[in-house]
Chain A
């Protein structure tokens, strides 16, 4: 199984400042046949289901603000919120979809400082 390790578990950032969340798969999620990175990011606000933010490590879903960006290699990924807004308070999860079992990171809780 591909184990997804997220860090930090939580972080507090001032409004307008940058938030950076890390995700490290235990093995590469880069598919050798198409050079695509099989990694997604989700946002989950309290009492709500997760919402897809980013797929293929860096492709934002339609309607997701451009302050959210994803980057990374096969085994080291980052979700960046460039200028934190109050509505971004949530838990963020990474997920690999290279192979089953599909696995999620443990989540990173983002709060306002």
Chain B
């Protein structure tokens, strides 16, 4: 059974940093691209960024709102994807989901984690 479990959320002050983890199981993690998607309270879904598999270069792409502040990485030996968030703003308050790219190698998401809440507030 495919499972994605996010962790690392919490309360952080503006301009602070936080690292989220997404621990995967039930599939060959190293073969899959992973994305982070966030949802501000009461709002819609916003794609944050993705990391491709090593076979596809392990490259990353980011939304404009995340570029330069957020970094996605992966540790295939541990089946974990990370989202390092720096220079956090109150607008970054959201539930952060990790999501698996479909096995058809296209960027829609066939599995999602339950999410972890990040609150940026002083």
A interface residue numbers (CB < 8 A to B): 38, 40, 42, 44, 48-52, 55, 61, 93, 95, 97, 100-107
Contacts and interface: CB of A to CB of B under 8 A. Distances in A.
B108 A55 contact: yes
Contacts of A103: 47
Contacts of B114: 48-49
B44 to A, nearest CB: 5
Contacts of B102: 52, 55
Contacts of A105: 44
B109 interface: yes
B113 A104 contact: no
Contacts of B50: 100, 102
B75 interface: no
Interface string B26-66: 00000000010100000011110010000000000111100
A49 B112 contact: yes
B110 interface: yes
B107 interface: yes
A106 B108 contact: no
B106 interface: yes
Interface string B86-108: 00000000000100001010111
